[in-house]
């Protein structure tokens, strides 16, 4: 399997191995690495995968994309990543909400967010890939986070030999618990920096700017350092996410909810478009997925794009109770455009986005996107009402991001009248956003974030997840902040 940049428009393209794509993160031309072809699953493959546990499923699927790893190597890495210690409830938890609607709870890992599903495995892939390509320099991982990725990446890369990681987060754009999780992170090779007066897009743009700065990269190379990424712009982060959609389909088949070949619709709350893109890739591999419902919060740039074909970041930015989706530049949309329209068209759109902040795709490309995707969004009041409704009517306790997806799923089902089963991606523990969840359920004024943990536990009878309990007593280690245009200053050579 060879990988190529989404912006490689040359006749003789530059290809890299899976390990090189994982280690580099971002292509030199600013594009994202994608596989030359998408492997396919047939019924025989599916029957084989269904008989395996999650570790076996992950190793099998990833071996189709990472063919410079042996399946035995991948099995070893997956056993470490998805161990009972990391995921005491199991890596994949599928909950029935009501007839035909299921939530895939992906947040039962060490940081209580779905990012753990990829970021417990990715550092292990990264470390093995460095050895495969003979890289001896220190890798400096740069991460921009809208909340959950930062902690999951810090925890995943903590103590990994030959790696340093720096996480940038918008100072006022994450929840108090998310901030506390990051700023108390243990580990000698980790660093956390707040971005003052900026949002996630500013942090993400700053990281991309650093990657593209040849002077910084030369200085780092002279010091024996190279840059890479743990955001979903890195293929090593996105590939493990493909697995849980395939596995969930197998699980629902095993429970008799569906049989192989039956269509399953999927709703995903998304900001950077990586999670839902992973589901799209699973569909292109042959998984019987029907509609992909893209759920956005009040920053509904993706909803508008899917409704019109025009993408524009030139709009008001909102801080919401679902901060991991407070994004106006959805990086992984570039990969979708490449898969549908190719490098030339994609490169043109990305150039327009950089220059004017917007682009409109061709009618052919838009038509192809609409065959798979539909978008809905929920503002703050709708999100709160959805949290309240699902708790009181179904006993389901939802975080705000999952609530956005539940609203989108209900809207889709109500409009289309379809009877196809719906899988909703559950992305975070409700206790990570306890104040908003408590206020949404009770209608009371929002309490402070720390007190809200105990209040939500007492209200619902649910235990505060142990990783969050430990965070409350941890010492803050990182208090540094920079302006968006000062992010390069973190390098001290």
The answer to whether the beta carbons of residues 376 and 411 sit under 8 Å apart is yes
Question: In 2-160, which ranges are continuous DSSP H helix?
Answer: 18-24, 43-50, 54-65, 71-81, 116-119, 122-132, 148-157
What DSSP element (H or E) covers 337?
Answer: helix 333-341
Q: Among all chains, which residue has been given the structure tokens 């890495």?
A: 77
Q: Across the strands, what pairs with 358?
A: 312
Q: Among all chains, which residue has been given the structure tokens 């992984």?
A: 332
Separation between Cα atoms, residue 185 and residue 285, nearest integer Å? 38
- For residue 424, give both structure tokens: 């909703």
| Cα torsion 473, 478, 481, 484: sign | negative
Give the number of residues written for the chain: 493
The answer to whether the beta carbons of residues 241 and 274 sit under 8 Å apart is yes
- The torsion region of residue 266 among left (phi > 0), alpha (psi -120 to 50) and beta comes to beta
Nearest to 39 by CA among 244, 234, 247, 287: 287
Instruction: Please report, to the nearest 10 degrees, the dihedral formed by the alpha carbons of residues 184, 187, 190, 192 taken in order.
Output: 10
Q: Among all chains, which residue has been given the structure tokens 């492997």?
A: 39
The answer to whether the beta carbons of residues 116 and 4 sit under 8 Å apart is no
Nearest to 91 by CA among 235, 251, 267, 283: 251
Separation between Cα atoms, residue 156 and residue 81, nearest integer Å? 9
Return the active site residues: 115
Separation between Cα atoms, residue 445 and residue 423, nearest integer Å? 32
């Amino acid at each position: 399997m060879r990988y190529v940049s989404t912006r490689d428009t040359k006749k003789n393209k530059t290809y890299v191995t899976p390990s090189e794509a994982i280690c580099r993160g971002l292509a030199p031309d600013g594009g994202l690495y994608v596989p030359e072809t998408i492997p396919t699953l047939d019924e025989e493959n599916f029957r084989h995968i269904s008989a395996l546990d999650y570790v076996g499923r992950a190793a099998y699927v990833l071996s189709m994309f990472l063919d410079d790893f042996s399946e035995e190597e991948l099995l070893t890495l997956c056993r470490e990543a998805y161990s009972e210690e990391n995921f005491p409830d199991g890596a994949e938890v599928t909950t029935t909400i009501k007839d035909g609607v299921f939530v895939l709870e992906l947040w039962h890992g060490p940081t209580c967010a779905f990012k753990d599903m990829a970021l417990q495995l990715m550092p292990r892939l990264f470390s093995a890939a460095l050895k495969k390509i003979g890289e001896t320099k220190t890798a400096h991982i740069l991460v921009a986070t809208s909340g959950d990725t930062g902690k999951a990446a810090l925890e995943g890369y903590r103590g990994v030999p030959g790696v340093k990681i720096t996480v940038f987060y918008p100072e006022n754009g994450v929840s108090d618990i998310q901030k506390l999780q990051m700023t108390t992170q243990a580990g000698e090779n980790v660093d956390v920096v707040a971005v003052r007066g900026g949002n996630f897009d500013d942090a993400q743009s700053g990281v991309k700017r650093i990657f593209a700065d040849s002077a910084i990269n030369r200085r780092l190379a002279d010091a024996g350092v190279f840059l890479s990424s743990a955001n979903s712009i890195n293929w090593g982060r996105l590939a493990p996410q493909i697995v849980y959609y395939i596995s969930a389909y197998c699980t629902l088949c095993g429970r008799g909810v569906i049989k192989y070949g039956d269509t399953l619709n999927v709703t995903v709350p998304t900001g950077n478009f990586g999670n839902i893109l992973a589901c799209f890739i699973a569909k292109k591999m042959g998984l019987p997925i029907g509609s992909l419902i893209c759920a956005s919060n009040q920053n509904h740039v993706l909803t508008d794009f899917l409704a019109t074909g025009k993408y524009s970041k030139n709009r008001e930015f909102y801080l919401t109770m679902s901060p991991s989706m407070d994004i106006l530049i959805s990086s992984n949309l570039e990969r979708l455009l490449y898969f549908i329209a190719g490098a030339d068209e994609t490169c043109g759109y990305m150039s327009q986005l950089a220059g004017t902040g917007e682009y409109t795709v061709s009618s052919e490309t838009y038509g192809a996107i609409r065959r798979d995707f539909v978008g809905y969004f929920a503002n703050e009041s709708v999100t709160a009402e959805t949290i309240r409704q699902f708790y009181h009517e179904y006993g389901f306790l939802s975080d705000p991001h999952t609530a956005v997806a539940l609203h989108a799923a209900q809207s889709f089902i109500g409009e289309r009248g379809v009877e196809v089963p719906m899988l909703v991606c559950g992305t975070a523990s409700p206790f990570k956003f306890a104040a908003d969840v408590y206020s949404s359920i009770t209608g009371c004024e929002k309490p402070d974030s720390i007190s809200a943990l105990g209040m939500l536990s007492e209200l619902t009878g649910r235990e505060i997840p142990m990783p969050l309990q430990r965070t409350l007593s941890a010492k803050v280690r990182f208090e540094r902040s920079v302006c968006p245009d000062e992010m390069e200053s973190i390098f001290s050579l």
